[in-house]
Amino acid sequence: MSVLGVAMVSLLGLHARNVRLTSQAQDLTIAGMLASRVAAESQASRTPVPAGITSGEFSDREASLSFAGEEIYGGTLAARFRWRREVEYIDLARLGLPLRVPRIRVSVGTEDNPEIAVLVVLQPGASAP
């Protein structure tokens, strides 16, 4: 009985780990798509994006659709996710090429949680406003 018990507990642990990993994979997929969404906004904006850090949450409510606002509609699965955008301007003087580098970090839960997706975009020719 005790041998059986130990074996079953181990098997249950493996099952639980499998489910947890699957859930993490799902979060990673969503985070990647949402990071692309924020990065695209950074690229498409006609207003020069200032250097520094901005952050906000993704919403699952259609009414929160806003380009300039802090909440971005992220779909039915996005309510737990947060985004943080760090914009840096690098002047490659030797090449005479200014470079804008937005880094998009997407995390789940509170702000203190580590990010699960990071997307870095290199935008040559973009000068600091």
Q: Is the CB of 75 or the CB of 115 nearer to other proteins?
A: 75
Could you say whether residue 104 binds other proteins (CB under 8 A)?
no
Q: Identify which range of 11-19, 101-109, 112-120 contacts other proteins by CB under 8 A.
A: 11-19
Least CB distance from residue 92 to other proteins, whole Å? 13
Catalogue the long-range contacts made by 22-29 (C-beta closer than 8 Å, 24 or more residues apart). 24/116, 27/108, 27/116, 28/116, 28/117
Q: Is the CB of 45 or the CB of 55 nearer to other proteins?
A: 45
Q: Is the CB of 75 or the CB of 86 nearer to other proteins?
A: 75
User: For the residues of the chain, what is the DSSP string, one character each?
Assistant: -HHHHHHHHHHHHHHHHHHHHHHHHHHHHHHHHHHHHHHHHHHH-SSPPPSEEEEEEEES-GGG--SSSS-EE--TT-TTEEEEEEEEEEEETTTTEEEEEEEEEEEESSTTSPEEEEEE--EETPPP-
Binds other proteins by CB under 8 A, chosen from 23, 91, 113, 122: 23
Could you say whether residue 117 binds other proteins (CB under 8 A)?
no
Could you say whether residue 108 binds other proteins (CB under 8 A)?
no
Could you say whether residue 102 binds other proteins (CB under 8 A)?
no
Binding site for other proteins (CB under 8 A): 1, 8, 11-12, 15-16, 18-19, 22-23, 25-26, 29-30, 32-34, 36-41, 43-46, 48, 67, 73-78, 98, 123-127
